[in-house]
Amino acid sequence: MGELNVYVVETKDQRKKFVSAILKDMLALETMLERGMFESGITRIGAEQEFCFVDKNLRPSIIGLEVLEDLNDDHFTTELAKFNLEANLDPLVFTGGALSQLESDLRGLLEHADEKAKARGARVLLTGILPTILKDDLEFRNITPYERYRALNDAMIKHRGGDFEFHIKATDELITKHNTMLFEACNTSFQIHLQINPDEFVDKYNWAQAIAGPVLAASTNSPLLFGKRLWDETRIAVFEQTVDLKNQRNPDREQKSRVDFGTDWLKESVTEIFQYDVSYYRLLLASDIQEDAMHVLKSGKIPKLKALSLHNGTIYKWNRPCYGITDGKPHLRIENRYIPAGPTIIDEIANTAFWLGLMEGMPDDIGQISEQLDFDNAKLNFHKAAQMGLSAQFRWTDGKVHTAESLLLEQLIPMSRKGLQKMKINEEDISRYIDVIEARVKKHQTGSIWLVQSFNKLRKDANIEEAVVAVTSGMLKRQYSGLPVHEWDYPTKQESGSWASKYRYVHQVMSKELYTVQEDDLVELVSNVMNWRKIHHVPVENEEGEVVGIISAGDIIKYYCKHAEDETITVDHMMIKNPITVTAQTEVVEALKIMRRSNLGCLPVVKEKKLIGILTEFDFVYMAEYLFEELQTIEAERD
């Protein structure tokens, strides 16, 4: 959605005027296709690189607008959140050294952005989802203050009729809700554009849909969110659920998410996609369109189709059809939107080469795709890949079920090589990039696999916060080494940084695994929970999840010393009511002062009165261990 001057559709007149403009655009599109006006016989490629900024503590750095001003380069533009930016690469004719040129162009842009970020105490990081991002980072204050983003957020909330809800289940489970669309800002991707001849568009688009699952399986890079191990490509679930605008006021109505894989194979024309989208999806945004597309066409010029493009930009297909104009000639493109950013530039260009090679190596009989592969299986393959990556299994065009590894190594990687050769791509470039994909699959190490295995190893002697910081630090360090992800070693706990940065805020040290009771529970239950779970403090909640008290092992011992015979006493008779609390953003040193002044053994951590964690004296013992380890290391280095 590139239009800046957009607004939420509020009135019938606004809706009628904009729908009229869309219909004229669609008629103009159909007319240009019928007249053979679209550019043909040349294949161009392009890409969009989304990236995030991290500060010295590996947390999101809110410097996007400042860096954009420092860059003063039209290749860069804003993203939804202030801690992300996007770089748009110049289109290239897809032949010869196009891939190495794409890599060189991308490297130049990212080095420029990183130089400006470093001047502001931050770095550029390529990752599908930043492991250290917190829900607090997704508050409205961090939305880029441009009207198009505010309008889109308002339109989605209005259409949905309530908060955005998320439920993602894998090794761990995430259940949460949020009041803005900024969850989408967790995601950063590397979007690839391929220009398509109009007479080939139906077959090429169907083929792009068919290969989406296997291509995604080989390129996953976002398995962690809020310290939870979720899908191999959690971006897919986050985006689909962020833009899932099923109206809460009418939950029984069958409605589709605006992030859509599709519903069927194309049959005759790209216009089928636009016709479906205009028929099914209500307008979210509009703009004052001055162009009458049919009038422009009749005058001998090429219309920009701004209304249709704006509506298309609010429907987030994983393979999105795009209309554009180059040197006065209209063209059609497929935009691949499902590949994540990172882990390195070489990995991203390898993913690009693999997909482009497959697109150009499309089998000659793919026009009969509907007879070879059910669309529902292609869609299922895609979501299996998002969930399981290289561990997925796919039903393929031969009717058989293949492991991701066997399908990639035996069929698709060789097919991609041939497709690149067909386009006369330099042989050294073909080897450089496709060998990366092949080695990645053979070694079974995508970005997601590296992240999860690194996280699991670190968790053996580190808490969740230390683990996500260490993997983020390790990712940043290895990204700038230039080695592709299949050659990365695993990070150590020491890569999580100094003691001071790891333990600055309460959210970095608090326990999130909570055992709670309510006021009418038996104290006998509490004592058993403490014994079973080896804990000394249990928060007391009411039915709304608000903290109303705290009960400690010491309180129970004191009580039973005087009332040994009373086995029916309930929590409300013994708990400390209205306990002192802190927030996740409270500095640890302040929390420690509170505990010392008030002689407390624990502090409940709350957000809007709801319990989200607990900080105890044992957490400080844990921190002290690593403080002294760090001091010993410093002393040893001095000696």
> Residue 493 carries which DSSP code?
G
A 10 A CB-CB count for 386 gives 25
d(CA 208, CA 355): 9
Q: Identify the pLDDT of residue 574.
A: 87
114 has pLDDT over 70: yes
Q: Identify the pLDDT of residue 320.
A: 97
End-to-end CA distance of the chain: 59
Q: Which residues of 504-522 are buried (b: 16+ CB within 10 A; e: fewer)?
A: bbbbbbbbeebebbebebe
Q: How are beta strands 537-541 and 190-196 bridged, if at all?
A: unpaired
Residue 184's nearest CA partner among 312, 314, 54, 38 is 314
What single-letter amino acid sits at 391?
S
Q: How confident is the model at residue 10 (pLDDT cuts 50, 70, 90)?
A: confident
d(CA 242, CA 165): 8
154 and 293 within one domain: yes
Q: Mind listing the pLDDT tens digit for each residue in 61-70?
A: 999 999 999 9
Structural domain includes residue 632: no
Q: Identify the pLDDT of residue 499.
A: 64
**Sole residue written with tokens 């890599």:** 103
Q: Mind listing the pLDDT tens digit for each residue in 152-167?
A: 888 888 877 778 889 9
Identify the CATH number of the domain in which residue 393 sits. 3.30.590.20
Q: How confident is the model at residue 633 (pLDDT cuts 50, 70, 90)?
A: low
Q: Identify the pLDDT of residue 483.
A: 97
Q: Please, where are the H alpha helices in 35-129?
A: 64-71, 98-118
Mean confidence (pLDDT) of the chain:
92
Contact 132, 468 (CB under 8 A): yes
d(CA 97, CA 500): 48
User: Helix or strand or coil: residue 591?
Assistant: helix
Q: How are beta strands 76-78 and 92-93 bridged, if at all?
A: unpaired
Token pair of 503 as six digits = 């333990």
Please give the residue that has the higher pLDDT: either 260 or 358: 358
129 and 50 within one domain: yes
254 has pLDDT over 70: no
224 and 312 within one domain: yes
Q: Identify the pLDDT of residue 249.
A: 54
512 and 435 within one domain: no
356 has pLDDT over 80: yes
What single-letter amino acid sits at 626?
Y
630 has pLDDT over 80: no
Q: Please, where are the H alpha helices in 444-488?
A: 447-458, 464-479
Q: Is 229 exposed, middle or buried (0-12, 13-18, 19+ CB in 10 A)?
A: buried
Structural domain includes residue 18: yes
d(CA 308, CA 291): 12
pTM of the model: 0.91
Domain boundary among 399, 425, 442: 442
d(CA 184, CA 242): 6
A 10 A CB-CB count for 503 gives 23
Q: How confident is the model at residue 615 (pLDDT cuts 50, 70, 90)?
A: very high
Domain boundary among 418, 442, 466: 442
266 and 192 within one domain: yes
Token pair of 617 as six digits = 């004296």
Cis status of the peptide bond prior to 343, with omega within 30 of 0: yes
Structural domain includes residue 481: no
412 has pLDDT over 80: yes
Task: Kindly state the average pLDDT of the residues 329-352.
Answer: 98
127 and 13 within one domain: yes
439 has pLDDT over 70: yes
Q: How confident is the model at residue 637 (pLDDT cuts 50, 70, 90)?
A: low
Q: Identify the pLDDT of residue 245.
A: 60
Q: Mind listing the pLDDT tens digit for each residue in 279-288?
A: 988 888 889 9
179 has pLDDT over 70: yes
560 has pLDDT over 80: no
Q: Identify the pLDDT of residue 565.
A: 61
Q: Identify the pLDDT of residue 151.
A: 87
Residue 192's nearest CA partner among 210, 206, 212 is 212
Provide the sign of the torsion angle of the four alpha carbons 237, 239, 243, 248, taken in this order.
positive
d(CA 490, CA 79): 31
411 and 516 within one domain: no
d(CA 436, CA 450): 15
514 and 438 within one domain: no
Token pair of 254 as six digits = 């069958």
Q: Please, where are the H alpha helices in 7-163?
A: 12-34, 64-71, 98-118, 147-160
Contact 534, 528 (CB under 8 A): no
Whole domain around residue 298: which residue ranges? 6-442
> Residue 373 carries which DSSP code?
S
d(CA 247, CA 433): 44
What single-letter amino acid sits at 489?
D
221 and 73 within one domain: yes
Percentage of the chain with pLDDT > 90?
71
Structural domain includes residue 447: no
A 10 A CB-CB count for 288 gives 13
Q: To the nearest 10°, the Cα dihedral for 626, 637, 501, 582?
A: 40
What single-letter amino acid sits at 108?
G
405 and 264 within one domain: yes
Domain boundary among 425, 442, 459: 442
Identify the CATH number of the domain in which residue 605 sits. 3.10.580.10
Task: Kindly state the average pLDDT of the residues 88-113.
Answer: 98
Token pair of 66 as six digits = 């400042």
194 has pLDDT over 90: yes
Task: Kindly state the average pLDDT of the residues 408-419.
Answer: 98
Structural domain includes residue 493: no
437 and 511 within one domain: no
Q: Identify the pLDDT of residue 85.
A: 98
Structural domain includes residue 634: no
Structural domain includes residue 494: no
For 139, list phi and psi in degrees, rounded to 5. Answer: -75, 160
Residues contacting 158, CB < 8 A, separation 6+: 8
Give how many domains the chain has, as a whole number. 2
Q: Identify the pLDDT of residue 416.
A: 99
d(CA 362, CA 314): 29
> Residue 576 carries which DSSP code?
E
d(CA 330, CA 89): 19
- Give Rg (Cα) of the chain: 27
Give CA angle at 427 (112, 198), nearest 5°.
Answer: 80
d(CA 330, CA 68): 30
A 10 A CB-CB count for 264 gives 13
Residue 83's nearest CA partner among 119, 106, 59 is 59
Structural domain includes residue 490: no
521 and 438 within one domain: no
Residues contacting 291, CB < 8 A, separation 6+: 21, 303, 304, 306
Q: Identify the pLDDT of residue 377.
A: 98
